Amino acid sequence: MKNSYTEKEQYYGDYLALDKILDAQFPESEARGVEAHDEMLFIIVHQTYELWFKQIMHELNSIIEIFNESEINDNSASLQIATHRTNRIIEIWRLLVSQITVIETMSSMDFLDFRDLLSPASGFQSYQFRQLEAKLGLKMENRHAKCYYEHQLTEEHVEGIREVEKQTSLIDLIGQWLERIPFWDDAYWQNFEVAEGADTTLHPFWATYRKIYQDGLSKGEMSAISMKDFDALFLGKGDLTTRLSTRACQAILFITLYRDYPLLQTPYQFINKWLEIDELMAMWRYRHISMVKTTIGMRAGTGGSTGASYLKGAMEKHHIFGDFARLTTYLIPRTKLPKLPKELIDKMHFSI
């Protein structure tokens, strides 16, 4: 709804619509004449979560808009803006994790004063948060205990989430962006020295890198991960479940390995920040699990879920950017990195 005061001089309370916000808490216990002092805290904490979810959605939509462009010039402001706004999302998530400390001041007995009055309402039914997960790339079929979503959310909200899923998610847009990063043009590799014993049928860099990685495995310097997995991820040989294409996997590994070059620093920071967000979301779920166990033990959730057990399953399964973290398995020490051709090194410095 349009703010009716936008064409007048602003007054603090009017600009923030404080009359609506501060009059939006309606404790059910108060309506029923039940003494439950902490229900007000419970309401305000969850309303605050929803406001921050709205801000995260605002930032995320702008990042998605940037990555929907067919070209993102790293010398322009677009990628820097996306990285800056991603960092803001990180700070909001840190705040959301720490906010659990506030609600933990409510004891089990304080919660039991009004818990039964909430049923079947549940934080599980947060439509904004479910939309947020879908925009990031979590599909309905990949959700833990997806039957809850179909039965505990309204038909309108389920349909709304499915509509979001039809859009290109952030992780898919990032994958498309990574595929466009031009590192493998033949002109850059004319003077590249291929490692002895490397597969000459491969691109010069990957022939050398694969040989170094395989040698490291044989010497026990790295985890004994199957070379079949390496070949599937980075060479497209074989089957390995991942949302990222072979070219996108190559780009992430290359960016991570050579991130000290100026042109790669911002892409590296952007990718790494989404790994941090994935971790913060898992940490938020973990703190929620601990709080639920302390507050209601093994009781079922008010919305009909299995409570702490459901939250644990969601924490373990709902990692959206897990493929980014997975690729760190295949890093090698800096001292063993293939020396890049001068033509490519020059390309990865900003012009002065």
Summarize pLDDT for 36-49 with one digit per residue, the tens: 999 999 999 999 99
Domains, the chain: 26-180+274-322 (1.20.58.480), 186-262+331-347 (no CATH)
pTM of the model: 0.88
**Mean of the per-residue pLDDT values for the chain?**
87
Distance of alpha carbon 88 from the chain centroid: 13
pLDDT at 64: 97
CB 183 within 8 A of CB 267: no
Cβ neighbours of residue 304 under 8 Å, at least 6 residues apart? 120, 122, 148, 151, 152
pLDDT at 137: 92
Q: How far is the C-alpha of 168 from the C-alpha of 165, rounded, in Å?
A: 7
Q: pLDDT category, 31, cuts 50, 70, 90?
A: very high
* 132-190 tens-digit pLDDT: 999 999 887 766 556 666 778 889 999 999 999 999 999 999 999 999 988 888 888 88
pLDDT at 310: 62
Report the amino acid identity of residue 27.
Answer: P
